[in-house]
Amino acid sequence: MSGLDLDAIRARADAATEGPWECEPAAFGPRWFVYNASRGLAGDVRPDDAIFIAHARSDVPALVGEVEHLRAENAKLSALYATLRSQVAQEQGCEPMGAAAFSGGGENQP
């Protein structure tokens, strides 16, 4: 999952037509249209696709923000873990074990 290019995703979302986007059935047939307050954005799409497209305008930026928040939180927790592991090792007079020892891998396993 770390292969996500959040900058590129955010740039595409920022370049898209302003929201909010909405959708409604076309006057004919089983197709729908997606639009914002000023213009149509997509036409002749299936209802499920129209709903997905319309929600993407707000969902994508929200998801990018959440991933950025979680990555920052993970970095803070990883740094805290490393600090605490080092402190415990110093208090016990031993070398800190690698992360593999805590995750089921590594050479310290019986």
pLDDT in tens, 62-97: 999 999 999 999 999 999 999 999 999 888 888 766
Q: Give the pairing of strands 40-45 and 32-35.
A: antiparallel
Q: Report the candidate in 84, 55, 62 with the shortest Cα–Cα distance to residue 6.
A: 62
For 38, the 3-state DSSP assignment is coil
> Per-residue b/e over 68-82, b at no fewer than 16 CB within 10 Å?
eeeeeeeeeeeeeee
CB neighbour class for 54 (10 Å; exposed up to 12, middle 13-18, buried from 19): buried
The span from the CA of 1 to the CA of 70, in Å, is: 12
Segment 22-30 mean pLDDT:
82
Q: Any idea where the domains of the chain sit in the sequence?
A: 6-96
How sure is the predictor about 106, in pLDDT bands with cuts at 50, 70 and 90?
A: very low
